[in-house]
Structure 1
Amino acid sequence: MESAQTESEPVKSEVKSAVASSKGKAKAKTSIWIILSILLCFTVSCGIVATGYYFYNQQQSKEAEWHAQIASVEQKLQQQNSYTAQLKAENQSVNQKSQQLQQRVAELESNVSGLAKRSPKHWMAAEADYLVRMAGRKLWLENDPMTATELLKAADQQIASMQDPSLLQIRKAISRDLSKVKSINETDITGAVFAIDGVIEQLDSLPLNQFKPKVTVQPEDNVLSESIDDWKENINKTWQALIKDFIHIRKRQGDVQPLMSPKQRWYLQENIKNKLLQAQLALYRNDEVNFHHSIQLAHKWLSEYFDLQNETTKNALNELEQLKRLTLSHTQIRRFDSVPLLKQLVTYGHLSAVREPSL
């Protein structure tokens, strides 16, 4: 019995080892399949994730494109709305201009019809009104009372040629305007300008006020003596007579101021010319203050730096003295009395009851 048990123990151990090995192999096979299934599941899940990410990106890009297309469509709609508003505004402005043109055409038609009904006397009244207005321009803009007087006379003749007794008010007004214009003391602006031009032309030939010292010459006794004892003095006198025409020796006391350089002389002359030209400009502008100021400065510089003994300098200073006493005329007339009457005649073709202005 003991031998049988000893024989059966190795068999049991072998069976156990076989069973254990088969169990190990089965476990190994099951672990490999599990790993493969896990890998397969992981691969499938990665593919699903990648596919989802790809489709997600595609969806995002399509949404971005859709948003861009929507924004462009909205921008085009806004532009179209702005263009529509601009076209409406332009249409309104065109309509307004069309209405204005229609009103202007209507006014022109009425004016033309009114002009067609007028008599030739209206044209003569318009010409007289133009002459009076030209007289005002000559008087106030150009300070020319003489031409203004002639223009007023021509306007009076034009009204007189109409031979209408109802226009005596206009002739009286023109007569008052003529008397006012004739009362203006006219200044010879042209003569003053020419006098200034003469002084400017003489500036280059005017001598400067240079220093001229007085030389005292001692009287010399050049008569030769007949005495033989005076032979030395006779020789000296003969020698002095020989060199008299070749050498002059003069003695001068006191400080001598240096002469003006050519550059300084040129600057002086140009400054005087500039002041005289300013005086001419002031004459044309009827500016009496600046005219007298420029003439006084030119007179001062001429008297200080040029030779007062020279006749040309004296003549230039005399011209400037006369110009300093020149007074410019200033008109006090603000308007002509005949202007409103002529305007009424040209506009309505007749005169209404108008009160004459007090003198």
Structure 2
Amino acid sequence: MVENQDEAQDIENAAATKQLQPKGRALAGFTALLALGALAGVGYLYYLLVYLGPMDELQRRVSGLESGLLRSSNALADLKREQRRGIEVAAAAQRQRLQELEQALAGALSEAAASAPPSPQQWKLAEVEYLLRIANHRLLMERDVDAAVGLLSAADDILRELDDFALHPVRAALADELLSLRSVRGNDVQGIYLRLEAVKERLIALPLELPGYFGTPPPVQEPAPEGLWETLSAELASYLQVRRFDGARKPLLAPEEAVYLELNLRLMLERAQLAALRRQQVVFEASLGTAREWLLEYVDQGEPVVTQAVSEIDGLLEVQLDEPLPDISASLSALVASHQDTP
């Protein structure tokens, strides 16, 4: 009986233990999770205190060092700029001072050279400069190529006598200018003027153009009239002639108007002479063209004197007065530059 009671008690204890076992496991699991959470919190706090705290301080120090370095760099750059500016100002002052000293020295040398009498070489160089200036004037103002060539040749002869190597650029420029001038086809202005004067002298002998019916018509062989009416008609036809002219007929000048034609022709030829002296190509051609037109219109073309006058004007119309001329100022510029380079 007692054994049965013990067995019953054991069974009840086993049943109770089975009922309490799931609750203990849940409590153990909860305890383990709580422990893990506490451990994670402790680890996070350790990370914050041990790692992040010193890194922030280090970052702040690095940032402060970088800011200081930037300020130092800016200050150094400002210092360099100030030093460079000071150096430039000092260099400019030195250059200004040096330039003033050079000018003073050059002025002193110039005064000393001016007080001394000119040497024979200086006299000859002055003569060369004068010849070159006159040559430029004759070529530009009067377009006289021959005179310019003679003046440049005379200047080159003087330079050859000096035999100074420093004047080599001047002689080189002279050689080039002489070659350019000799290649220019010069116009004989004096000859052109005299040719026009010869045409003017023949204006008095120029005959006016006569009407075409003034000439004697060629005889026409007609049959002898047979009746009275034919005889009267032939007689009247010998006194009266009717001619047909096709196109417009230009008016002829009256004999008393020949004086005005001569004066106008003389005026055109004199204007052409003046244009030739001034090298005015347009006025020269216009004057000769007007004179030629009047000769062909109002003067008898059958006369030899008229043919010669027209032929002479045609020849003069082919003359080119305004031919481009070369520049001969290089030798003068080189000579002036050599004067400036000579102490």
Compute the TM-score of the two structures, normalised by the length of structure 2. Answer: 0.56
* Aligned residues with identical type, % of pairs: 29
Counterparts in 2 of 1:146-165, with a 5 A limit?
A: 146-165=146-165
Contact 1:125 1:345 in 2 (8 A): no
In structure 2, relative to structure 1, the CA distance for the partners of 1:130 and 1:307 (3 Å cut) is: same
The offset of 1:344, in angstroms, is: 3.3
Q: For structure 2, which runs of at least 5 residues remain unmatched after alignment?
A: 1-106, 223-237
Give 1:39-58 correspondences, 5 Å limit.
none
- Tell me, yes or no, if the aligned pair for 2:280 and 2:322 is still in contact at 8 Å: no
Contact 1:292 1:324 in 2 (8 A): yes
Other-structure match for 2:183: 183
1:308 to 301, 307, 329: 301
CA RMSD for the aligned pairs?
A: 2.9
Deviation at 1:146, TM superposition (A): 0.8
CA distance in 1, matches of 2:115, 2:267: 55
Query: Which residue in 1 is equivalent to 2:15?
Result: none
AA in 2 matched with 1:176: D
Letter of the 2:131 partner, please give it: L
State yes or no: 1:293 paired with 2:286: yes
- In the superposition, relative to structure 1, how do residues 285 and 124 fare at CA in structure 2: closer, same or farther (>3 Å)? same
Residue type at the aligned position of 1:304: E
1:126 aligns with 2:126: yes
Q: Distance in 1 between matches of 2:318 and 2:162?
A: 47
Between the aligned partners of 1:164 and 1:323, the Cα distance in structure 2 is 47
The answer for the alignment partner of 1:209 in structure 2 is 209
**Cα deviations by residue, 1:104-149 (Å, 9 ceiling, x for unpaired):** xxx9xx7796162432101100000111111111111111111100
Shift of 1:272: 1.1
The 1:293/1:337 distance shift into structure 2, 3 A limit, reads same
1:330 to 319, 323, 327: 323
CA separation in 2, counterparts of 1:257 and 1:179?
54
Out of 313, 316, 320, the residue aligned to residue 320 of structure 1 is: 313
1:313 maps to a residue whose letter is: V
Normalising by structure 1, we get a TM-score of 0.54
Q: Which sections of structure 1, spanning at least 5 residues, go unmatched?
A: 1-106, 221-248, 351-359
What is the rounded CA distance, in whole Å, between the counterparts of 1:334 and 1:187 in structure 2? 18
Q: Which residue of 1 aligns with 2:141?
A: 141
Q: Does 1:253 align with 2:242?
A: yes
How many equivalent residue pairs? 215
> For structure 1, which segment, 208-217 or 145-154, has the greater mean C-alpha deviation from structure 2 after superposition?
208-217
Cα deviation code 1:71-101 (max 9, x no counterpart): xxxxxxxxxxxxxxxxxxxxxxxxxxxxxxx
Give, in whole Å, the separation in 2 of the partners of 1:283 and 1:343: 35
